[in-house]
Structure formats: structure tokens, C-alpha cells
Structure 1
Amino acid sequence: MGTGVAGGEELLLLVSPSSGNGRALRAAAPVTEALRQAGYAPRVVATESLPDATRLAAAAPAGSVVAALGGDGLLGAAAGGVKDSGAILLPLAGGRGNDTVRRLGLGVDAVETVRRLDRLRVRPMDLGEVNGRPFLGVANAGFDGLANERGNQSKLNLGPLIYLYGGLRAFLEWRGVEFTVTVDGRTSTFTGWFAAVGNLGQYGGGLRICPRAQGDDGRLDVVSLGRASILGVATTFLRSYRGTHLRHRSIRLDYGASVQISANRPLNVYADGERATELPATVSILPAALRILAPADSPALSGGPGTPRHPGASLD
């Protein structure tokens, strides 16, 4: 593929040293070389934190490409930055679950994604925020958040299965919680297990907890689970791998632009697999807030096929 500009177009490559137990860091060199071969001149920066990733992406030139190599948390943080800068986000798998890239249809081989850049298109995408913290996939509180916490604490190298391990540990600790969830002014109070708010709608290494969610429909999908036995909870999560869990009698589904969640006990809120805040929390959607490189036939984006992006191409 031609470069379009002499010497290659500069691209910011953000790398999370901690993602995937070092997976992103190990992939940085081959990804950098693949980007050079694709006609870019990568500037590689190891991020110090998620806010640092947001800051770096926010400082990128409008119309340039910011590639984020790391887990879902890094991708969400970078998305918050390109929202402000007008740069274009290229998500690259470098974590354990890699739900964002899976849902977008990009695949989990970052080098292969770069090699297929000519097949990707610039697509508008919504951005979620929970108490001001940006996210792309899911913001959640409850049992699933505790499972995520226990999975993140583990040093076991189980890949996406680490979240199943975390779920088994969380079962031993969970006690019933009363949630209050308000969606665009509609309030429900229930005793149950979790409340999940989806933009792309996938988390936990393949759990399509909000299976109808689209990343460009301008709304949030809200899925919660009320009273259920441990077997019912386990069945719900197992079925969510295929997105067939919404038929469970204790599942509630709603849609809206603004969601408030509170509970009768302290709970952490997770966003893109990272601890984001505590309840109470407000989740909002920013329609078409950023531009992202994704396949024309991405299963998570329902709009048009988008426009090509290659070094030197103008998008303005």
C-alpha cells in the first residue's frame, strides 16, 4: 500500500505496559514494524496510566491516527482523548479479554489487524461516560463487577477464562443487594445481582451482556438481573456468551440516553473492565463522539460502510 506522503505519516501508538500481563508490551515491536510497512511513521509511547492515555490522545492532531495497543480499559481511555482532539482511533488487541476489538470485528491479532488496514474504514461511534469516565464497552455494578475485581486480582495466566475464575470466587462472597435504576426518568427498584449499561455491550472475555447494543445507535442498553438462584445466575452468564440470556424471567431490559444507578450498599462501578467509580453513578451516551477504524461490515456498527483511511488521505 502506498504511503501517500514522503517518509510516512506520523501515527501515535499508545502501549499499555501492564495490559494482558505484558502482552501489549511484547507486541509493541512487531506492531510498530507492521505500521511502518503500512506506510506510517509510528511514535511509540508507553502510557503511565489511563488518564495519561486520554491526555496523549487528546493532544494528537485532528485527522491523525491514534493506535491503542492494550486492554479494553486503554481503548476506552484513548477514545475519551480522540473525542476531544478529532484524531481517529485504531483499537489493537493487547489485553486479556479484548472485548472491544472482538465486538468491532477487528480480531485479537494486533499485527494482523495492522496488515489489513486497507480493509478498514473510518466509522463514527458513540462514547459512553460514567461519572465523567469514558468507556466503549460496558459500565457495570454488582456481582459482575465483583467477579471482574477478583479476576483482575489473580495472577493466573488464563486469558479470557480469568473472568470465569473471578465469577466462581465472587459467588462465594455475594449477598443480595437492592438496586435503584433510573433510565430517562423511569425508575425501578429491585433486589438482585447486577446492573449493566452497554455501548458496545460486551465484557468479561466474550459475555454479550447487552446483545442488542450497537456502538452507533445513540443510546445505551440497560440489562439487569433481579432475584435468581445461583444456578439461574450461572445460566444467565453462560447464555450471555451467545446473547440468549434476555429470556430469563428476572432479566430487565431498557434503553435510554441517561442512566442513574444506586444501591443499598457500597459497590464499585467498572467500565471497560477497569474500576471507574463508586455508586451512585450516572451513565450517559455521547452520540457519534469519535471516529474509529473498523471493518465496513463490523457487527457492532449499524451505520454505513464509512470511508477509507490510508496514510496521506484527507478526511476533511
Structure 2
Amino acid sequence: MTASLRVGMVINPTAGKNTGARIGREAATFLAAAGHDVVDLSAMDGAHALERGRAAIADHAVDCIVVAGGDGMVHLGVNLVAGTDIPLGIIASGTGNDNARELGLPVRDAVKAVERITHGGTRRIDAIRHVTPRGEDRWFAGVLAAGFDAIVNERANGWRWPKGQMRYNLAILRELGVFRPIPYVIEIDGTRHETRAMLVAVANGPSYGGGMRVVPAASYDDGLLDVLVLHEVSTPTLLRVFPKVFSGAHVGHPAVEILQGRRVRLEATGIVAYADGERFGPLPMECEVVPGAVTVLT
């Protein structure tokens, strides 16, 4: 990145238990000190930040987009720049930071993150596109969850209390008592698979959920989607297999299957998918990989 560029910056003030605001402000100060014009595109919520960011890009008011926060902010940034020549800088300051970590970027370090943005190079990565029933493009960079994990997310997000990780832990316990294998239709590059499964994840990157390496071999720039299927198992087996996702050892279990392709369609009843940790949309859903859709400042 050369000097005196216009940097459109979006900061999530609540990321990483409110450390996102502090690290984001530090990064903005360092960017300004390096001679860049920092344009604050932050807003009261993600929808308004997207609106402001898209307007700035359409008006040619910024030369790059920089997001400060966790995977949700990377998700927002990808939805701003995918399919354009506008590069994306990441100030990783959230709780999980899976995409930043897997891309080899500094985490919770404003100085190093700004150094990467101002003096580093660029890397083209794939992004995953879903076209909504309204014809709108929605993108994600990391992993789309569409099984037990998505149901837990949906349940936890419906509760106002408790806050933080405990809410998700309680949602897991509550869901385990009632969860049943889900009938899926999974179509990959036109090949149809029917199965009953506990978990289905569509991966562009290897990890989600703060270090869960759900598809350890997934690559951001191979032009392929990796679809992990944990086929029907008993609840005790699920309890044994699921924790292994932090090391990636779960992929050796006989109930785990990984399929690859460029386009996937998922069908199941009552499932709302989550991508990059954000509520993405209900199944059925079709996604396709778009090679090199995003330029990341690295």
C-alpha cells in the first residue's frame, strides 16, 4: 500500500469483549500517522455499515477497506469488496479471529496489523457466493455451518441471557437433549447425495468458532469448496467426536466424509445456516466458489 491513500475503515466497538473499539482506534491513529486519509465508515449496525461502505466504493471515495473486529467484520468486509479491485485490510480484534489467523495475519496487535496493511503485499483469495431469492449476492470467506452447530447458534442467539461463551455452552447442553439426525440432500457439481447427518459444513477456510479446525485441509485459494459431512451417529459418539474438531482429528472418524467441488446445494428442513459466525440464511441454499474474488492486504 502506497502513501496517502483513502482508507475506508469500519470498526466493531463490541468485538473481543469491547477490545475491538480500542484496537480499532489505535489502528486508525497509526494509519493517519503513516500519512493516510482515514474515512470512518462505522455505523450503528452491520447493515448500515454495509450501506455506507458500498456508497463510498461506488463514489470512488476510498482506495481500500479496512475492518477492525472479529470474523463478523471480515464477513462484512468481504461483502463490501468481493468481485471488486478494492483490497481488504484486517485488524483482527475479535474473539475468534479464525480467518485472520488462518491467513497468517496478526491478532489483537494494532501495530503489526497496520504494518502489514501499509508495507505488506496482497493476496488473492477465493470467496463463496450465494445468490438470495431476491437476486442479491451474499458472500463468505471462511466456513458455513448448516447442522448441529448452526442450530446451537440459532438457539443461543434467541436468548438474552447469559452473555458470552456461557450462552453457547448452555445452548449446546439444551440442544443435545432434543437433537436428532437431520435428513439432507447435498448436491455437489450436479452429483446428488442423500443422507442423515449431524453436521454439514461448507468450507473455504479451515476453521471456525475460535479455533475449531473443521476442515483442516481447506485452502483459501484452491478454487474449491470442501463440504464436511458428519453422518448419523449416536449422541454419545457425537460428544466424543465433536471436541476433536479443535485439533482436526475428527476427520479420521469413519462417520466423517469430506467432498469437494465448485458449487454446492444444501437442502434440509428447519435449518438456518451461519457463515463466518453470522446468520446467513435458511436452507435450501446454493453456494459457489469464485476464485480470487477478494484481494487481502497481507
Same fold (TM over 0.5): yes
Instruction: Find the counterpart in structure 2 of residue 141 from structure 1.
Output: 146
Among 203, 213, 216, the alignment partner of 1:198 is: 203
Identity %: 28
Report if the CA contact (8 A) 1:71-1:98 is conserved.
yes
Shift in Å at residue 106 of structure 1?
1.1
Instruction: Find the counterpart in structure 2 of residue 120 from structure 1.
Output: 120
The 1:170/1:124 distance shift into structure 2, 3 A limit, reads same
The 1:259/1:72 distance shift into structure 2, 3 A limit, reads same
Among 18, 24, 29, the alignment partner of 1:22 is: 18
Distance 2:97 2:103 in 1: 10
Shift in Å at residue 14 of structure 1?
0.6
Question: Is 2:5 the counterpart of 1:9?
Answer: yes
Question: Is 2:40 the counterpart of 1:40?
Answer: no
Instruction: Find the counterpart in structure 2 of residue 268 from structure 1.
Output: 272
Report if the CA contact (8 A) 1:163-1:205 is conserved.
no
Distance 1:4 1:18 in 2: 30
Q: Deviations over 1:15-46 (max 9, x none)?
A: 12343443322333212122223432322222
Instruction: Find the counterpart in structure 1 of residue 134 from structure 2.
Output: none
Among 282, 285, 289, the alignment partner of 1:285 is: 289
The 1:162/1:91 distance shift into structure 2, 3 A limit, reads farther
Shift in Å at residue 57 of structure 1?
3.8
Give SS of 1:147's match.
helix
Distance 2:168 2:290 in 1: 28
**TM-score for the superposition, normalised by structure 1:** 0.82
Question: Is 2:250 the counterpart of 1:245?
Answer: yes
Across the aligned residues of Structure 1 and Structure 2, the Cα RMSD in angstroms comes to: 2.5
Shift in Å at residue 172 of structure 1?
2.9
Q: Deviations over 1:19-78 (max 9, x none)?
A: 344332233321212222343232222234434444444433498221111221221221
Shift in Å at residue 151 of structure 1?
4.7
Shift in Å at residue 114 of structure 1?
2.6
Shift in Å at residue 119 of structure 1?
5.8
- Greater shift in the superposed pair: 17-26 or 174-183: 17-26
Give SS of 2:121's match.
strand
Shift in Å at residue 125 of structure 1?
0.9
Shift in Å at residue 248 of structure 1?
0.9
Shift in Å at residue 197 of structure 1?
0.3
Report if the CA contact (8 A) 1:163-1:204 is conserved.
no
| One-letter amino acid matched to 1:179 | Y
Shift in Å at residue 261 of structure 1?
0.5
- Greater shift in the superposed pair: 266-275 or 65-74: 65-74
Shift in Å at residue 83 of structure 1?
2.2
Instruction: Find the counterpart in structure 1 of residue 90 from structure 2.
Output: 91
Report if the CA contact (8 A) 1:148-1:204 is conserved.
no
| One-letter amino acid matched to 2:39 | R
| One-letter amino acid matched to 1:250 | A
- Greater shift in the superposed pair: 12-21 or 127-136: 12-21
1:110-259 matches, within 5 Å, as 110-117=109-116, 120-131=120-131, 132-152=137-157, 153=159, 155-158=162-165, 166-259=171-264
Shift in Å at residue 284 of structure 1?
1.1
Consecutive unaligned residues of structure 1, counting only runs of 5 or more, are 295-316
Shift in Å at residue 88 of structure 1?
0.6
The 1:251/1:4 distance shift into structure 2, 3 A limit, reads closer
Instruction: Find the counterpart in structure 2 of residue 307 from structure 1.
Output: none
The 1:274/1:221 distance shift into structure 2, 3 A limit, reads same
**TM-score for the superposition, normalised by structure 2:** 0.86
| One-letter amino acid matched to 2:287 | V
Shift in Å at residue 278 of structure 1?
0.3
Shift in Å at residue 196 of structure 1?
0.4
| One-letter amino acid matched to 1:209 | V
Distance 2:164 2:295 in 1: 33
Report if the CA contact (8 A) 1:130-1:276 is conserved.
no
Instruction: Find the counterpart in structure 2 of residue 314 from structure 1.
Output: none
Give SS of 1:107's match.
coil
Distance 1:20 1:155 in 2: 17
Shift in Å at residue 91 of structure 1?
1.6
